[in-house]
């Protein structure tokens, strides 16, 4: 990887709060992360954290990471990654968790979150493992659009018949 490629991957990773990760299994999934020590660090797999199931991310495995542009929101760079699972309470785990803890929004147990992550979750590092597959000047022409994954959170139903009267009634 050239210095320019490395800089592009690192700057894009630092500025974007979300990355799209495609493991050996399943479709790509958006995950929040922090850029720390030359890699995208993320936490997940527990009941209160982002799901990692179905991606096939294993220690020593590979993944493909897509990062969007903070300015325009479109895909900026896609790079191959090597997955490293950090052992709980190790030196690298503690440093990564310190960064992740500061970015975890609305944690119900902020003071003891590191202990919960050590018990229930996985902390992963996605380290760049080669030159970017896509970058400015070498983007594909197709959109890469995909239908949303099925979820139980979908609540699309007909609106109640009386709701328009409540919303659009004239105030006196």
Indicate if the pLDDT at residue 82 is higher than 90: yes
Indicate if the pLDDT at residue 170 is higher than 80: no
pLDDT computed for residue 64 by the predictor: 96
Sequence-ordered list of residues with C-beta below 8 angstroms from that of 74, at least 6 positions apart, any chain: 68
Predicted confidence (pLDDT) per residue in 43-57, tens digit: 998 888 999 988 999
Percent share of the chain, pLDDT over 70:
97
Sheet with strand 62-68: strands edge to edge: 29-32, 18-22, 62-68, 75-85, 122-128, 39-44, 34-36
The mean pLDDT value for 1-9 works out to 91
- DSSP for 5-67 reads HHHHHHHHHHH-SEEEEE-SSSS-EEEE-EEETTEEEEEE-STTS---TTS---TT-EEEEEE
Q: How far is CA 74 from the centre of its chain?
A: 15
Sequence-ordered list of residues with C-beta below 8 angstroms from that of 27, at least 6 positions apart, any chain: 146, 149
Indicate if the pLDDT at residue 86 is higher than 90: yes
Please compute Rg for the chain using Cα positions.
20
The better pLDDT of the pair 45, 158 is held by: 45
The four Cα atoms 32, 101, 104, 129 give a dihedral, to 10 degrees, of 0
From the list 12, 4, 7, the residue with the least C-alpha distance to 35 is 12
pLDDT computed for residue 127 by the predictor: 96
At 75, is the pLDDT very low, low, confident or very high (cuts 50, 70, 90)? confident
pLDDT computed for residue 27 by the predictor: 86
Sequence-ordered list of residues with C-beta below 8 angstroms from that of 58, at least 6 positions apart, any chain: 83, 85
Instruction: Give the fold, CATH level 3, of 3-138.
Output: Pnp Oxidase; Chain A (2.30.110)
Indicate if the pLDDT at residue 171 is higher than 80: no
In sequence order, the β-bridge partners of residue 117 are: none
């Amino acid at each position: 990887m050239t210095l320019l490629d490395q800089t592009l991957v690192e700057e894009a990773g630092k500025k974007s709060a979300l990355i799209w990760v495609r493991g050996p299994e399943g479709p790509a999934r958006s995950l929040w992360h922090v850029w720390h020590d030359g890699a995208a660090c993320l936490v997940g797999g527990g009941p209160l954290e982002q799901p990692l199931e179905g991606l096939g991310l294993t220690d020593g495995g590979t993944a493909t990471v897509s990062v969007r542009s903070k300015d325009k929101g479109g895909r900026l760079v896609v790079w191959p990654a090597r997955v490293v699972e950090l052992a709980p309470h190790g030196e690298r785990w503690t440093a990564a968790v310190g960064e992740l803890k500061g970015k975890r929004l609305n944690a119900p147990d902020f003071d003891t979150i590191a202990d919960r992550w050590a018990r229930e979750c996985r902390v992963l590092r996605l380290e760049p493992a080669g030159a970017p597959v896509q970058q400015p000047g070498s983007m594909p022409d197709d959109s890469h659009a995909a239908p949303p994954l099925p979820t139980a959170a979908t609540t699309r139903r007909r609106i109640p018949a009386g709701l328009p009267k409540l919303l659009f009634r004239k105030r006196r």
